[in-house]
Amino acid sequence: MNTSKLEILIKKEDLKNKIKELADQLNEKYKNESLTVIAILNGALFFFSDLLKLLKMPIQIDTIVVSSYDGTKSTDKIVYHKKIVKPIIENQNVIIIEDIIDTGRTMNSVFEYVQSLKPKTLDLVVLASKEDTKTKFKYDYKSLFIVPDKYIVGYGFGIDDLYRQLEDIYIINE
Ligand code: 5GP
């Protein structure tokens, strides 16, 4: 794996601290409730598993596999490779865990799909959002980090599926 073009952006300690902060907030907000947590894969893989380990309420998990990127370019074509397996989320508290919002196209589609299954509440948490992009995402969400409008890799973020296993997050200098 060629790491010479990578410039560190977010260190694993900072990821850990922010995720712990988020878990504390969720543990407080859903103290006496149960939760369905849906990960958008592959990008949210590590964020999802690190967060889950810190949650204290009864949780069910599910996953959606969707793609819209071709290499480092966002495209209009949103492809669902897998939808949720247990679509019985009516009247449940649901949180969607996503890696990043760039243009917002992917999440508009995913959010509306999950919303159509009539959950009691629906929150979206993303690990990062791009600072300079005018996101077209239409709903409220929480973002743990604001990142520059550059392509990032590591901690689940890949480029053509490479670099996902890195523990920190990097900018790729092309
Ligand atoms: P959007 O539909 O918001 O333009 O794109 C969202 C999806 O594109 C994310 O779920 C993610 O898979 C991918 N994506 C957007 N920006 C980046 C980036 O900087 N790095 C990586 N690895 N993926 C990105």
Give the residue, by CA position, lying nearest to ligand 1 atom 12. Answer: 43
* Burial grade of 22 (CB within 10 A; 0-12, 13-18, 19 or more): buried
Token code pair at residue 70:
């071709």
Atom in ligand 1 nearest the alpha carbon of residue 98: 10
pLDDT band of residue 76 (cuts 50, 70, 90) is confident
Please give the pLDDT value at position 86. Answer: 73
102 given a catalytic annotation:
yes
Give the residue, by CA position, lying nearest to ligand 1 atom 13. Answer: 69
Please give the pLDDT value at position 136. Answer: 75
* 3 state DSSP class of 29: helix
CA of 31 to the centre of ligand 1 (A): 32
Judge contact between 94 and 115, C-beta under 8 A.
Answer: no
Question: Among candidates 159, 156, 165, which has minimal Cα distance to 63?
Answer: 156
Can you list the positions of beta strands (E) in the chain? 6-10, 35-41, 59-70, 73-82, 93-101, 121-130, 142-147, 152-153, 169-172
pLDDT, tens digit (0-9, with 9 covering 90-100), for 48-60? 999 999 999 999 9
Q: How far apart are CA 12 and CA 168, in angstroms?
A: 5
Atom in ligand 1 nearest the alpha carbon of residue 137: 3
| Class of the domain covering 3-24+41-172 | alpha beta
Tell me the domain boundaries of the chain. Answer: 3-24+41-172
**Predicted structure pTM score:** 0.91
pLDDT, tens digit (0-9, with 9 covering 90-100), for 141-169? 999 999 998 999 999 999 888 899 999 99
